[in-house]
Amino acid sequence: MSGGAVAAVDLGATSGRVIVGRVGPDTLDVRQVARFANTPVRAGVGLHWDVLGLYGDALDGLREALRTEPGIASIGVDSWAVDYALLRDGRMLGTPFHYRDERCERGVAAVHARMPHAELFARNGLQFLPFTTLYQLAAEDPALLEIADTALLIPDLIGFWLTGRAVAERTNASTTGLLHGGAWDDDLVDALGVPRGILPPLVSPGERIGMLRPDVAASIGARADLPVTAVGSHDTASAVVAVPMQAEHAAYISCGTWGLVGVEVPQPVLTEAALAANFTNEGGADGRVRLLHNVMGLWVLTETVRGWERAGTAIDLPALLTEAAAIDPAAVPVFDIEDARFLPPGDMPARIDAWCAEHSLRPPRTRAEYARAIVESLARAFTETVDAASRVSGVDVRAIHIVGGGALNELLCQRVADRSGIPVLAGPVEATALGNLLIQARAAGFVTGSLEALRDLVARTHAPRRFTPGA
Ligand code: LRH
């Protein structure tokens, strides 16, 4: 096999994985060596991530990766955005909160009392999301904030535990709302009462974070000088690296728990239209800008299925979707999947019923009808958001790329093509891990070139599946 080997730790909101990649000019082979559940825990004052458990699982996965591929040249870590840990003298203070915790509402009210969203948008270019880090920091226990000396986003926390070096990787730091022009916005940080000193130095994808700590290297059987490389540590940034698109004519949907729908642009779009459409300008690899909007994603479907399973019915999702595909779309309600009531965990069918009752629509009756209503509602939201992205950016969208787990949902892919009238190119499913691996491989010299060259490699090795409108 040609190319060099690198390892990706990719932590998603419901599961994490460790993936080994062999990457070269004509090679992009990936092998998953570990997959583990990420189960949030409601304990004490709120909903938390079990970050220590995740770190332990990541170490186990890396040990397995090195056992099967001793030549691994680098490790990179990505995860979901916005959430953070506070530390003092290297020790974690408390357990990081989950962005679906209710405390965010308090933070929104506190921040907007000082600065309205439009003013924030002019500075940080972000859409309004109630869990953006700056709102979470405003809801933080002031006593903890006072004694903390460092705040680390989740992948940076894992990187710190691996290397002992505390940094903030730029793509993920852009989701804090505290970044302006690629640097911490000190005036905003001060205005919001965030202690400046807790924000670590920024690094960009491709930069070396540091070598593994000797004790960590010994515990996973790694050589002492194995580096951890900054990647697009925001999972969506890594996914966008690996979208096999021609960016000037394409929209992407990174579809997992969330559906991140947008286009890539060279500069932030801070217009009235972008603000009104609630679009975000998140940082991408190589200084690109991800102009996108968070749509609810597969969360509503998976949470619905989880609820049925908790109530004692085992669900075969592929069979359910096949049944759902046979239903006439006109026979199910299309609801507003972006309604804030669908954000927290809970009884999704009951919330769908309530939405339908409020809008004088007949609610779904069977499990398959619920599944179809969710897919139709998601497909409509995706289509409308692609349309808005095109309008706001001026990108003439001729193909919609769906990457991530949603690329496996054939009904969803077909319905996005049907509703938009634009071909959908589905895959790769593992775009996030591929983007993570590619940035490391380029830093290690196994491949060269721009994001276009990296995307070309993805297109040659992971040809997407085409869904034609009306087929
Ligand atoms: C997707 C994601 C998304 C963020 C959300 C918190 O995993 O990173 O881009 O908005 O999680």
ipTM: 0.99
Distance CA 399, CA 416 (A): 11
Residue ranges per structural domain of the chain: 4-235, 245-427
CB 264 within 8 A of CB 281: no
Which amino acid is it at 368? A
Alpha carbon nearest to ligand 1 atom 8, residue:
80
Low-confidence residues of the chain: pLDDT under 70:
1
CATH number, domain 245-427: 3.30.420.40
Q: Is 245-427 in the same CATH topology as 4-235?
A: yes
Distance between Cα 2 and ligand 1 center (Å): 34
CATH number listed for the domain at residues 4-235: 3.30.420.40
Beta strand 15-24 with 4-11 is antiparallel
Measured from the Cα of 235, ligand 1's closest atom is 8
Q: In the numeric block, which tokens belong to residue 377?
A: 């509602």
The pair of structure tokens assigned to 79 is 């995860």
**For residue 210, is it left (φ>0), alpha (ψ between -120 and 50) or beta?**
left
Active-site annotation holder among 50, 235, 336, 339: 235
Torsion angle, CA of 385/408/60/175, rounded to 10 degrees?
0
**Residues 387-440: tens digit of each pLDDT:** 999 999 999 999 999 999 999 999 999 999 999 999 999 999 999 999 999 999
pLDDT, position 1: 47
Which of 77, 236, 238, 279 for mutating ligand 1's site (highest number of atoms within 8 Å of CB)?
Answer: 236
Q: Residue 281: CB partners within 8 Å, gap ≥ 6?
A: 125, 126, 174, 265, 268, 269, 270, 274, 289, 290, 291
Site to probe by mutation for ligand 1, drawn from 17, 47, 258, 298 as the one with most ligand atoms within 8 Å of Cβ, is 258
Q: Tell me the CA–centroid distance for residue 434 and ligand 1, in Å.
A: 17
> Which residue has the least CA distance to atom 2 on ligand 1?
80
Could you confirm whether 235 is annotated as catalytic? yes
